[in-house]
Every structure is written in C-alpha cells, then in structure tokens.
Amino acid sequence: MKVAGEFRVEKVRLAPWWWVAAPTVALDVAQGDAAADGHFAVDMPAGGEAVIRLDKLGLQLRDLALDQRWQQFSVDRWERWYQWQSGAKAAEFAAATPLRR
C-alpha cells in the first residue's frame, strides 16, 4: 500500500518542544512559532516495515527569541576557571570585570 500527499503544520510553539533539539543545538528558544510544509510518501509493503519519505520541505520561523543561557554558561565557566587560576586574587578579578564586557 502506498500513500502520498502534501502537508502543512502551522503555529507550533517552539519553547515547549525545544527539549527535542536542545542536545544538538547550542542555543535555547525563549519564544517563537514554526510552520512547516512539504510532500510526504508512505510505502507499507505487505509484511514489511513502513517507509516514510519527506521532501520539498519548507520551514518558517516567526517571532523567534533566543536565550543567552549557553553564552552566560560559558562566561560563568570562564570566570570560575580564572578565579581558580588566580588563587587569592579574586578582588583583582572582580575589579577587571568591566574590562571584559
């Protein structure tokens, strides 16, 4: 049995689904919507496994806002390393903060 057609999905809020992409994408989505469209084909041979093919894909993103969590994490990690490296010179490190930003 074979089935083919067109599909369109609209107004999918990204934030609740971001956990799916988070392990492979180095940013966080704070808000935004996505829409996708394309062509699908499903081939279900008798006694075999179904094969699903998607092509002619389109993706639209709207009102996208990215979170700086990863950037802040990197800065915090660097600051912790610098404090560890500088030993008892934490006051000098804190005084130099405006120069790093």
Q: What is the pLDDT of residues 14-33, one digit of tens each?
A: 888 888 887 787 777 888 99
Max CA distance (Å), the chain? 73
At 69, the pLDDT band (50, 70, 90 cuts) reads low
90 pLDDT band, cuts 50/70/90, is low
Nearest Cα neighbor of 30 from 60, 63, 59, 74 is: 63
Rounded-to-integer distance, Cα 53 and Cα 2, Å: 11
Is the pTM here over 0.75, yes or no? no
Instruction: Quickly state the pLDDT bin for 38 (edges 50, 70, 90).
Output: very high
Beta-strand pair 2-13/28-43: antiparallel
- The CB density around residue 8, as the number of other CB atoms within 10 Å, is 9
